[in-house]
């Protein structure tokens, strides 16, 4: 078993470009950017409390606490401190 990036109890975000869990036969919609909690580490994958699938490090973007949501800029005036 290799070293896993996350530990039990960590809250993590699923990647935006996520295509499907490790053992799924088809893509599951609505999971991208979802926040989940690591429940167990089984060899080379994780189980999470919210969804019954195997998740790899490659499926997870980051810890929720490290996620920095981009701030959209709609005009140049948004950059001015008026």
Residue 6 belongs to a domain:
no
Q: Give the Å distances, CA to CA, from 53 to 12, 19, 26.
A: 15, 13, 12
Q: How many domains does the chain have?
A: 1
74 in a structural domain: yes
Looking at the domain assignment, is residue 2 inside a domain?
no
Nearest-Å Rg of the Cα atoms of the chain is 16
Nearest of 22, 70, 66, 67 to residue 47 by alpha carbon? 22
Residue 3 domain-assigned (yes or no): no
In tens digits, what is the pLDDT along the chain, a chain of 82 residues?
A: 568 899 999 999 888 877 665 555 444 666 777 889 999 999 899 999 988 888 889 888 888 777 666 666 666 665 666 5
Asked if residues 55 and 46 have their Cβ atoms less than 8 Å apart, the reply is yes
**Cα–Cα distance for residue pair 40/27, rounded to 1 Å:** 23
The answer to whether position 37 is within a domain reads yes
In a domain, 55, yes or no: yes
- Residue 59 domain boundaries: 11-79
């Amino acid at each position: 078993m290799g070293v896993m990036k996350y530990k039990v109890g960590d809250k993590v975000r699923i990647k935006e470009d996520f295509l499907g869990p490790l053992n799924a036969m088809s893509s599951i919609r609505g999971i991208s950017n979802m926040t989940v909690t690591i429940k167990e580490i089984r060899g080379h994958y994780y189980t999470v409390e919210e969804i019954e699938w195997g998740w790899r490090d490659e499926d997870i973007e980051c810890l929720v606490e490290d996620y920095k949501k981009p701030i959209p800029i709609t005009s140049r005036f948004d950059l001015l401190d008026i």
